[in-house]
Structure 1
Amino acid sequence: MRIYLPVTAAHLRAAALGSPQEPQSAHAVTPALTRALPDEDEEGLEVSASLCAADASLVLLAEPGAEGLADRRIVIAADVDAEHVRELAVEGDVLPGTVEVSAEIPWEDVAALLVDGAEAEGDVRAARLGDENAFERAAEADLLWYDVTERDALADSLGA
């Protein structure tokens, strides 16, 4: 199952992502997302899941301890066994397509890295400080695609 994991630049240096002991929130094409967006095809649903993960990456950047991390949203697209993915109930702040992943994700299972371009940094910086208009502008920015083999170079360029 393809999942979209919201991360920060610091995660690019991890030996692996996730852990069976500490499930991580991610986004995926789920029955709830399909019901919420009935006019979307599979590709549109995948884009929607990745954009929700991008928003969640920005939320991670706003958390205490994230100061000094690159002002870029980062999403890791990975393939995991469906048995390690649990769809969360849509309630409160939980969006359709939100899942919990309870597995370690080796870099070999990563399909792509999706990252904001440098032009989005100003809006991401303002959004992580609470500017709602900047959050909306950041949400409109396209994410750039990187192959997993570019992970180290990307981490270097982001100061991780």
Structure 2
Amino acid sequence: MRVYLPVTLAELQNVSPVLLAPRVAHGVTPALRALWPDEDDEGWEYAAQAAAADGSLLLLAGTPDAPSLRVVVAADVPEACVRGLDDPPVPSAVEVVCGVDLSQMVSVHVDEPAAAADVAAAAGGDEAAIERLEERDLLWYDVTEIAQIPAR
């Protein structure tokens, strides 16, 4: 199953990145499909990725030393590693119960460095900065480029 994991750049750029579990991730769930029944797979995946970007903001709020960029990892994990949540905060939320290593990562999506000030402000609760971030698309990186993702 394709999942979108909110992470921080510091967590991702470890020597050997393994995203520990359990952790909340986002995917194309039945609840997400029901919310937007006229959408297609691409639209549902975009919505799940956007929810993961919001989750990355929450991680940054609790990790002030991490680079102020939203980071989302797209990964393909076995269905057995994904569980539904009893009370999901958003329709795309799931729990990944297995560690995710580099071999499962498909791509990485990161804010451009120019967004850092808005990301920091949004992580601190600035509503105007949150709205500005909603207008920004995350940049796409191949997993072989993780070490080259600029922190600022």
TM-score, with structure 1 as normaliser: 0.88
Q: 1:44 maps to which residue?
A: 43
Decide whether aligned partners of structure 1 residues 7 and 67 sit closer, same or farther in structure 2, where only a CA change above 3 A counts: same
Q: Equivalent of 1:76, from 73, 80, 83?
A: 73
Q: 2:125 maps to which residue?
A: 130
**Which of 119-128 and 40-49 deviates more?**
119-128
TM-superposed deviation, 1:17: 2.8
For residues 89-100 of structure 1, the aligned pairs below 5 Å read 89-90=86-87, 94-100=89-95
Partners of 1:32 and 1:62 lie apart in 2 by 27
Structure 2: which 5+ runs fail to align? none
Native 8 Å contact 1:18 1:104 kept in 2: yes
Report Cα offsets for 1:67-101 as digits up to 9, x if no partner. 2221110000000001110122445xx10010000
Partners of 1:71 and 1:18 lie apart in 2 by 19
For residues 47-58 of structure 1, the aligned pairs below 5 Å read 47-58=46-57
TM-superposed deviation, 1:135: 1.2
Identity of aligned residues (%): 46
Native 8 Å contact 2:12 2:19 kept in 1: no
Count the aligned residue pairs: 151
Q: 1:10 maps to which residue?
A: 10
Structure 1: which 5+ runs fail to align? none
TM-score, with structure 2 as normaliser: 0.93
Which structure 1 residue ranges, 4+ long, deviate > 6 Å from structure 2?
A: none
Report Cα offsets for 1:50-81 as digits up to 9, x if no partner. 00000110111011xx1222111000000000
Root-mean-square deviation over aligned CA pairs:
1.4
Partners of 1:89 and 1:39 lie apart in 2 by 26
Tell me the amino acid that sits aligned with residue 135 of structure 2. E
Q: 1:149 maps to which residue?
A: 144
Native 8 Å contact 2:69 2:119 kept in 1: yes
Q: 1:85 maps to which residue?
A: 82
